[in-house]
Amino acid sequence: MRQSLSFRSSFLGGPAVALLLAACGSPPPAQAPAAPSAAPVAPASPPVASAPPPATAPAPPVASAPPPPPAPTPAPAEENGPGRSQKAIDIMTARDAAFLIDYANSDAKQRAVESCGKDKDPERAHACEDKAREAFQGDVIRFKRGPDDKKDWEKSVQLLIYKRSGSALREVSVGPVELVAEGNDAVRVKLGKQKGARPLWRGQTSVLIKAPNDYSIEFDDPEYGHLRYDAKIGLVTE
């Protein structure tokens, strides 16, 4: 009898006990709670419009340098003529001024070369040119004016013509002339009676002399053509 009870106890152990308990209405084992659902995501808020940057005050204008003063307007060329600061009559009668022939740049030399070049012998042609140069007597011209305080001094100017030999001057002709300005660049010289044989303007009663600049005069001669003279100060001494 004791053996039967013992057998039953051993038979109901282990897994059988669990089944028996289930059959008797034991509550089922608790399940793990479900994971809480995620919180609803709030909709993205619309982008906030950024405030415009504060207006920058315009920079004060930079003061520009004042424009340079306009260049002085040069005097019109016709006042005294191109390359000349004085009137021709004042250049011709300047105190202590005389005018020396620029023979090399005058027609007198060119005419002599052409005439003497007809001789095909170079030595004779050269000698002919030297003779023509020596025969030219109007080397130096001077217009000597009277006292400045004399009325109508232009009518009492003395014309002196010299032949130059080295540094020596020989007076060839002298006599009164009358000067009449023709504009600012030219002077009409009315020739009077001369003492001595006048080597220039033979047979003429007047000649037009021009002053292209402050340092020279020029004119046409019926025998020698166009002649140019350069001003020299102190060339003639008294």
How high does pLDDT run on average in the chain?
A: 78
Predicted confidence at residue 105, as pLDDT, reads: 96
Distance of alpha carbon 157 from alpha carbon 176, whole angstroms = 6
Of 128 and 83, more confident: 128
Q: What is the pLDDT of residues 174-196, one digit of tens each?
A: 999 999 999 999 999 999 999 99
Return the domain boundaries, the chain.
Answer: 88-233
Give which of 189, 228, 184, 231 is closest to 208, Cα–Cα: 189
Q: What is the pLDDT of residues 109-168, one digit of tens each?
A: 999 999 999 999 999 999 999 999 999 999 999 999 877 667 788 888 999 999 999 889
Q: What is the pLDDT of residues 5-46, one digit of tens each?
A: 343 434 344 444 343 334 444 444 445 444 444 444 444 444
Predicted confidence at residue 73, as pLDDT, reads: 52
**pLDDT confidence bin for 57, thresholds 50/70/90:** low
Predicted confidence at residue 64, as pLDDT, reads: 58
211 close to 84: Cβ distance less than 8 angstroms: yes
